[in-house]
Amino acid sequence: MQCTFIISRFDPAVDKESHYQEYTVDAEPTDKILDCLNKIRWEQDPTLAYRYSCAHGICGSDALVINSRVELACQKLVRDFKTGNNFVIEPLPFFNVTKDLVVDLKPFFDKHRQVRPYLISDQKPPEEEWLQDSETQQFYEPALRCILCASCTSSCPITRANPSYLGPAALLRAFRYIFDSRDTDTDERLEEIDTDDGIWGCKTMWWCTDVCPKEIPVTKCLAQIKRILKQKE
Amino acid sequence: MKHQFDAVIVGSGLAGLRAAVEIGENADVAVLSKVFATRSHSGAAQGGIGAALGNEEEDNWEWHMFDTVKGSDYLGDQDAIEILAKDAPRAIYELEHLGVPFNRTPEGKIAQRAFGGHTRNFGEAPVKRACYAATRTGRVILDTLWERCLQRGIEFYDEFQMLSLITNNGQCCGLVAYELETGKLHTFHCKAVLIATGGAGKIYKTTSNAFASTGDGLAIAFRAGAPLEDMEFVQFHPTGIYRLGILISEAARGEGGILRNNNGERFMEHYAPVIKDLAPRDMISRCILEEIRAGRGINGKDYVHLDLTHLGEDVIESKLAEITSFARTYAGADPIKEPIPVQPTCHYMMGGIAADADSRVIMDSEGSPYKGLYAAGECACVSVHGANRLGCNALLDTLVFGRRAGIEIKKFMQSANLLKLPARAEKQDSERISRLMRSLGTENCRHIQSEMQETMMTYVSVFRHEKGLHQALDKIRELKSRYQHIALQDKGNCFNRDLLDIIELGHLLDLAEVITMSALNRKESRGAHSREDFSERDDNNYLSHTMVRYDPGKEPRIFSKPVSITKFQPKERKY
């Protein structure tokens, strides 16, 4: 069946700003949006730039705005949309566009680094594993689903208004280590994000949760951080 | 642009990152990756990582070693497999201490589950040996190691494509890479290069592999004179989603999932009466295709069913969450209520750059090292997987041998000098790119690639025979000559995927030729290499590794290397 793809284009070598280009693609209802982009690139326009790799929602490369909503292009099929086979594809908002649908994610990963995303322990590890309750592991487990696709942070209205705000993805990583019983740096971690650009930047607007392609309850996880900070007061 | 480091690691999957963590403590190391580090395909590994921890039931490393040797159809090198199995528990505890969030037992220990080919007491019954984090095991280990590298301040060059290795008098002293964002060439000058670039599943039409799995490291090392070992052994995972090839982890069967044919029969009972659906992958893939050939595919089509419906919602949602969502999204099947349509999908290369147990690339049958060059992970052939890899041994391989590569490189760096770079080391690559940029070629990259993928799928996948292999070899060589006239259509310098596709296709074609030549050469059936015209294993003539060396301007040359047999003499392989 014939589908129309209107795609945002930007070539830094020639363009001052982005513009839209229209393509017609013969697609099956079960084709992924990524398959359609590939068809365009392979059969019509090899200059179209976008990122992709695993093509099944694990590597986190291909978060895009598809018909005004942030989605993974490899996780959405043509049949998932009720838009009369018309698609508008744009790069992730908030970030600078490098070319076409490729954005510069450096600010995203800079935020990630700020929360010290690694296990810190002042304990000497045992010979075997550290013991951890299954319930504890299950509590922070939702955060492990994160694939760093930047969907949440780029959709977050607070991030858009205040670029210094850490944003949902980085705070979710903080949540993961704060609630990991093996990490002993909990107090410092909490103190570091106990700020307006940190956890209190979150105004519980749920956009992050709404767009997360891995269905992580991001807002609820962030609320857990707020809860223990309140308890400490 | 020129850069200088003590060591450069190419590839940011588990092997590369584990080596980086090891070397980064004492030296200046850079990690190059053609995708952003966390997009590496190690992240797609689902089911688990094997180690005889004995957390759920009695286990020991000798059983693990035996299973791996038997799984390899006795082609794996037993000295290396012993290292792998013995070192496994240490490797797991180390990961746990680094922060990997494994699932837990009720006592709070690392939880374990059953996996194909892993047994207790030398084949008696399945054993729970795979440590896991839901069906995201690879992803959480990848994140943990990457984040550890961030902590150590290791320098990453993301979206850099290696183009060639630089050598001086037969010793590797750097590499040339293409920066995707700017189109610039970079020269990396160093004492040692570790190739950890993963697999090459994109040679085949149906694969579980990422678009990035194009065997770049294998092909570049091969062109630089490193022999490739056992390339005929390509693993087809039995349970890829029908038509898409997306993986449904073996963990699904580890948790009790059952394969059924069109009559609803649990057909693996007939082929592997003891461990049934947990037989090794080579065997199950063949059995599925046998069922299909006998007309027992679902509705006569070329797939069977993977039935999880009896496991209950709790197990499916908690232990198999990721694959459940794959089945719902891509196959439109809810595993809680209905079976998943599956067929074999190209998954893993047992073969690779010939390397010893310290990850040094080797040049010949005697194991003489290629100085300055190392390989680890899927792109290397140590060989711990022989003719067929067991599930959950791949992650283990990357961590055990990635670490050993790091240790060995550190040792080497202490005594080695930084060799002089040849004048204009990047000349060949820059000329090649300018030629493509100017070219008025007539051949379409995509067409050549799909013809290669179709050919390899038809003639060089699960079942092979002389006639088909010759047809495939002729076709691949025809495609290689057409490749010389390929057309580059995107002439830009920013995110030029068209150029990258062409470079990758060159690598895939080289490897397709080596795989087919190796498969023709091995006139027996062993592990994943199943010859319909030579259906038996032939230990008298073929209990040896196939080695293929690049010969500029001529056909690649084949020679052999003996197998290391220490504890377990070859026996008939029954399950």
Domain limits of chain A? 2-103, 106-232
pLDDT in the model for residue A203: 97
- Secondary-structure class of domain A2-103 per CATH: alpha beta
CB within 8 Å: A182 and B99: yes
The average pLDDT across B408-426 equals 94
pLDDT in the model for residue B291: 96
- Chain A residue numbers with beta carbons less than 8 Å from the beta carbon of B487 are none
| Mean pLDDT estimate for chain B | 96
Q: Are B340 and B432 found together in one domain?
A: no
- Chain A residue numbers with beta carbons less than 8 Å from the beta carbon of B494 are 11-13, 49, 98-99
pLDDT in the model for residue B71: 97
Which candidate in A28, A34, A52, A54 is best for mutational testing of the B interface (most B CBs within 10 A)?
A54
The average pLDDT across B343-351 equals 97
Each residue's pLDDT tens digit, B489-504: 999 999 999 999 999 9
- Would residue B404 show up in a list of annotated catalytic residues for this protein? no
Q: How many structural domains is chain B composed of?
A: 2
- Give the pLDDT band of residue B53 (cuts 50, 70, 90): very high
Residue B267 has pLDDT above 90, yes or no: yes
Which candidate in A96, A129, A131 is best for mutational testing of the B interface (most B CBs within 10 A)?
A129
Residue B25 has pLDDT above 90, yes or no: no
In A, minimum Cα distance to B109 occurs at A131
Residue B177 has pLDDT above 90, yes or no: yes
- Give the pLDDT band of residue B26 (cuts 50, 70, 90): confident
CB within 8 Å: A56 and B330: yes
3-state secondary structure of B93: helix
CA distance A11 to chain B (A): 8
pLDDT in the model for residue A56: 95
- Chain B residue numbers with beta carbons less than 8 Å from the beta carbon of A141 are 101, 134
pLDDT in the model for residue A69: 96
Assess if residue B232 is contained within a domain.
no
- Give the pLDDT band of residue B321 (cuts 50, 70, 90): confident
- Looking at the complex, does the CB of residue A155 fall below 8 Å from at least one CB of chain B? no
The average pLDDT across B530-537 equals 97
pLDDT in the model for residue A83: 84
pLDDT in the model for residue B389: 97
Assess if residue B271 is contained within a domain.
yes
Each residue's pLDDT tens digit, B65-107: 999 999 999 999 999 999 999 999 999 999 999 999 999 999 9
The average pLDDT across A227-232 equals 94
For the domain that residue B274 is a member of, what is the CATH number? Answer: 3.90.700.10
What CATH number should be reported for the domain whose range is A106-232? 1.10.1060.10
pLDDT in the model for residue B242: 95
Among B113, B253, B281, B389, which one carries the catalytic annotation? B281
CB half-sphere exposure, B537, CA atoms < 13 A: 16
Each residue's pLDDT tens digit, A157-210: 999 999 999 999 999 999 999 999 999 999 999 999 999 999 999 999 999 999
- Chain A residue numbers with beta carbons less than 8 Å from the beta carbon of B97 are 125, 129-130
Residue A106 has pLDDT above 90, yes or no: yes
- Give the pLDDT band of residue B282 (cuts 50, 70, 90): very high
- Give the pLDDT band of residue B440 (cuts 50, 70, 90): confident
pLDDT in the model for residue A233: 81
Which candidate in A28, A38, A56, A148 is best for mutational testing of the B interface (most B CBs within 10 A)?
A56
Q: What percent of chain B has pLDDT over 90?
A: 96
- Give the pLDDT band of residue B27 (cuts 50, 70, 90): confident
Assess if residue B262 is contained within a domain.
yes
Give bridge partners of residue A166 from the DSSP assignment: none
- Chain B residue numbers with beta carbons less than 8 Å from the beta carbon of A134 are 103-106, 108, 111
Q: Are residues B271 and B279 in contact, defined by beta-carbon separation less than 8 angstroms?
A: yes
Assess if residue B463 is contained within a domain.
yes
Lowest mean pLDDT among A76-85, A99-108, B299-308, B359-368: A76-85
Task: Report the 3 state secondary structure along B422-472.
Answer: CCCCCHHHHHHHHHHHHCCCCECHHHHHHHHHHHHHHHCCCEECHHHHHHH
Q: Of the candidates A53, A98, A183, which has its C-beta nearest B495's C-beta?
A: A98
The single-letter code of the amino acid at A126 is P
Query: What range defines the domain where residue B339 resides?
Result: 240-344
pLDDT in the model for residue B319: 86
Sign of CA dihedral B275, B573, B381, B290: negative
- Chain B residue numbers with beta carbons less than 8 Å from the beta carbon of A51 are 35, 39
pLDDT in the model for residue A84: 78
- What whole-number distance in Å separates Cα of residue A123 and Cα of residue A184? 8
CB within 8 Å: B490 and A147: no
Residue B45 has pLDDT above 80, yes or no: yes
pLDDT in the model for residue B93: 98
Residue B306 has pLDDT above 80, yes or no: yes
Comparison of pLDDT for B221 and A84, the residue scoring more: B221
- What whole-number distance in Å separates Cα of residue B140 and Cα of residue A146? 9
- Give the pLDDT band of residue B555 (cuts 50, 70, 90): very high
CB within 8 Å: B41 and A59: yes
The residue count for chain A? 233
For the domain that residue B441 is a member of, what is the CATH number? Answer: 1.20.58.100
The single-letter code of the amino acid at B346 is C
Q: Of the candidates A55, A58, A129, which has its C-beta nearest B93's C-beta?
A: A129
